A = this chain, B = another copy of it.
Amino acid sequence: MNTAADSALSGVPADPAVVAPAPLTPAFSPLYQQIKTLILQSLQSGEWKPSTAIPSEMDLAARYKVSQGTVRKAIDELASENLLVRRQGKGTYVATHAEQHVQYRFLRLLPDSGDLQSEGPAQREIVDCKRVRASADIAKLLSIRQGESVLQVRRVLSFASRPTILEDLWLPGTTFKGLTAERLRAYQGPMYALFETEFGVPMVRAAEKIRAVLPDEEQCALLKTSTQTPLLSVERIAYTYNDVAMELRRGLYLTDTHFYQNSLN
């Protein structure tokens, strides 16, 4: 699978396209990386869906004609990236946002008490949901073309009846065709679980940019706060498999009774 070959000794000149961009990285890729890519393709193609089990390590080893240890290392990496979940004695499962004990996998906001349970489940209110054309900045962040159709959602999350988060979301219109405010309201559970089960788009990774801001009048009204209360501005881009951006989310977090938690290592 990794023949270097291509000696320039043969009479016929080698293909320029191959010779020209002298491989600074000699394109060596270990077997388990190649297996990892194959597994990723099966995930992406939908052969194995979220919350279902993938074949056993032995089966995969037979399928790919490698040893169990090599499959194991590939799965280890995918598990450490939270794409797969290993369960001893049962099997290896495709990660999911549904049926997950932690309700909001990408939400780092915690109550001051530190106890997530104490405040109970969040109340969610869909304020708005409409189709618009992507502005230049939003198109750029979603890696689509300006003017393409995007779904724009605005919602408010409340904890213990206290409005705490105001979020605006932008989703590629074609992928999320048929998503309406009604469906969002009807669905119980995390929004990312809905994306996954209804639209086949599992969010796998996200990147956030955080700033401190003061809200405008409209934002104040929705969060029932004042223009003098500083808020966390959290811009998130969420990605599916292969680092394809699938959601842009701009949130405002009230941090008088909650805080954003992060761990560094």
Interface of A with B (CB < 8 Å)?
80-82, 105-106, 108, 204-214, 228, 230-232, 236, 253, 255, 259-265
Distance in Å from the Cβ of A202 to the closest Cβ of chain B? 13
Chain B residues near A80 (CB-CB < 8 A): 80
11 contacts between A and B (CB under 8 A): A81-B265, A105-B264, A108-B264, A204-B265, A205-B264, A207-B263, A207-B264, A210-B232, A210-B260, A211-B232, A212-B231
**What 5 A-B pairs come out closest when comparing CB atoms?**
A230-B230, A212-B230, A211-B255, A210-B260, A212-B212
Chain B residues near A263 (CB-CB < 8 A): 205-208
Distance in Å from the Cβ of A115 to the closest Cβ of chain B? 15
Q: A230-B230, A230-B231, A231-B230 are in contact. Are A211 and B265 (CB under 8 A)?
A: no
Most buried by B among A208, A211, A260: A211
Q: A230-B230, A230-B231 are in contact. Are A265 and B212 (CB under 8 A)?
A: no
Residue of B nearest to A252 (CB): B212
Task: Return the contact of A261 from the options B108, B208, B230 (Cβ within 8 A).
Answer: B208
Distance in Å from the Cβ of A210 to the closest Cβ of chain B? 4
In the complex, A213→B211 CA distance in Å? 11
In the complex, A108→B208 CA distance in Å? 11
When the two chains form their complex, are residues B230 and A214 in contact, meaning their CB atoms are under 8 A apart?
yes
Chain B residues near A81 (CB-CB < 8 A): 265
Distance in Å from the Cβ of A68 to the closest Cβ of chain B? 14
In the complex, A232→B228 CA distance in Å? 15
Residue of B nearest to A207 (CB): B263
Residue of B nearest to A235 (CB): B259
Task: Return the contact of A212 from the options B106, B206, B213, B261 (Cβ within 8 A).
Answer: B213
Chain B residues near A106 (CB-CB < 8 A): 264
Distance in Å from the Cβ of A211 to the closest Cβ of chain B? 4
Chain B residues near A82 (CB-CB < 8 A): 265
Q: Could you list 12 further interchain pairs (A-B, Cβ under 8 angstroms) beyond the known A232-B232, A236-B264?
A: A81-B265, A82-B265, A205-B265, A206-B265, A207-B262, A207-B264, A209-B260, A211-B255, A212-B212, A212-B230, A212-B253, A214-B230
